[in-house]
A and B are shown apart, each in its own frame.
Chain A
Amino acid sequence: MTAKTLLVTTGATVTFKALVINVLKQEFLSGAVKLGFKTVIIQYGNEIKDNVHVSEKFVEETLTNSDLFNRLNLKPISSNSDTFPKEKQLKIYSNSDFELLLLPFSNNINYYVNKADLVISHAGTGSIIDALRSSKKLLVVINDTLMDNHQTEVAAEFCRQNYCGSLGSKDITDSRIFLDAIQRQLVNSNTEFVTDTSNIIQSIIYEELVSL
């Protein structure tokens, strides 16, 4: 089994607590290692309120409560690795089985998307498109707690057309269900996302300006 990379991306605006809490779990991470993931990257959010980094605080609390690092014997390592850029906020931990990378947000998220074999994403259109445009296997986790969330329509439509799989944020509380969905997605041959629409906006701009 080749070493695989898993990317979890939660968007930048609101902390997707259900997703963060359920990937920072011993059962989940051990299961992911069994599925062949040697690198797990978690982009957990950049929510800042009244000068408090809400996302970061939530991750710290989650890690303290679950005692994850002790249980998995994870040790911080300096970001000397050649494979990842030196981002200030990137933290790397490792044990004998795998590396865990935590970062709040990256302006260069496509770098991480390209490294990944599978992307677990919130239902944001930007994150979904990033993964699909890079031809990545994609599992979308839909936040059930957001009201009137039209973004879920996009996720549902992409899944209906077999570009990705999806789970609700309640489903992922059970690590077995979560890991099963990942495994299914790994073996699933998704529809390749190709649309060449690169010059449409350019054409429309020129047409309208010419007709002035």
Chain B
Amino acid sequence: MVSESQLAIKAVVLLIPFILIVLRLVVVLPSVKLRKSIGNDNFIAPNVHGSTIMIMLGSGGHTGEMIRLLSKVKLENFNRIWVSSSGDSSSLIKAKEYEENLKTNQLSSIYLTLYRARKVGESIPSSIISTIKSFISTFNSLIQLKELPSLVLLNGPGTCVPLAYILFILKFFGLAKTKIVYIESLARVNKLSLSGKLLLPISDRFIVQWEKLALKYERAEFYGILV
């Protein structure tokens, strides 16, 4: 007969992994932290120059908005990884145009193409399959990189969901430190996009461009229209 104290020990031993997972999540999950906002001092931190920034592009207006968002960012201080989905050559062209306009271009830039996740209007079974394919192809592309980016800028195309979640899982296991910055499309006035909803808990910074959304979602930051 098993004594009660032995049962209690077993229960504790079984619970330890779960407790560890929860503790790890508390450490890495941005959504358990308070909403951030931009600090007052406009500091310059040259020690971060040379970091690698990944930028996700996407058809249907996402690339256009991303290029606008980047128009005032001094990207030449960072290595750049441009990411687009399969079958979206026009986004790559825009990224290359942006690169050509960079004044000093000493740091590196590379281009990645990921298998496209859910297409607009795709049925649920086929979007599950394409999402799984997208997860695998994204994972393969990421592990082939020389180093993972320090920061990734996302603004909503479906393929950014597997990308962000893989990075988050890597962060959970301590294999990555990539900061996830999500900027919701200007087209979202009253409610978040599906990508936005899915990325809200795991984004280090979550920025919206309409005040209504910032009032509705605790972690969303609002500074005005950014595009």
Contacts and interface: CB of A to CB of B under 8 A. Distances in A.
A155 to B, nearest CB: 10
Nearest to B225: A195
B106 to A, nearest CB: 18
Contacts of A210: 45, 47-48
A203 interface: yes
A124 interface: yes
Given A151-B187, A209-B179, A210-B45, A200 B223 contact: yes
Given A154-B187, A157-B210, A195-B224, A201 B72 contact: yes
A210 to B, nearest CB: 5
Given A125-B65, A157-B210, A202 B45 contact: no
B39 to A, nearest CB: 7
A157 B188 CA distance: 11
A209 B72 contact: no
A71 interface: no
Nearest to B63: A126
A150 interface: yes
Interface residues of A, number: 29
Contacts of A150: 187-189
Interface string A169-212: 00000000000000000000000000101111111111111111
Given A199-B72, A203-B38, A204-B38, A125 B150 contact: no
Interface residues of B, number: 44
A211 B47 CA distance: 12
Contact of B223 (A13, A151, A197, A208): A197
B69 A154 contact: no
A202 B73 contact: yes
Interface string B13-37: 0000000000000000000000010
Contacts of B51: 209, 212
Given A203-B38, A204-B205, A209-B150, A125 B226 contact: no
Given A200-B226, A203-B42, A206-B48, A125 B69 contact: no
Count chain A CB atoms within 10 A of each CB in B65, B151, B153 and give the residue with the most.
B151
B48 A209 contact: yes
A27 interface: no
A157 B189 contact: yes
Contact of B186 (A13, A154, A205, A206): A154
Given A125-B61, A153-B187, A200-B38, A205 B181 contact: yes
A193 to B, nearest CB: 8
A126 B64 contact: yes
A207 B153 CA distance: 14
Interface string A125-156: 11001000000000000000000001101101
Contacts of B227: 125-126, 129
Given A153-B187, A200-B226, A201-B73, A208 B61 contact: no
B150 A212 contact: yes
Contacts of A202: 72-74
B70 interface: yes
B45 A209 contact: yes
Contacts of B223: 197, 200
Contacts of A205: 53, 73, 151, 153, 181
Interface in B191-227: 204-205, 207, 210, 223-227
15 contacts: A124-B61, A125-B185, A125-B187, A126-B65, A129-B227, A153-B189, A197-B223, A198-B72, A200-B38, A202-B73, A204-B181, A207-B39, A209-B48, A209-B51, A212-B150
Given A125-B186, A126-B61, A200-B207, 10 more contacts: A125-B185, A126-B227, A129-B225, A129-B227, A203-B38, A204-B38, A206-B44, A208-B179, A208-B204, A210-B45
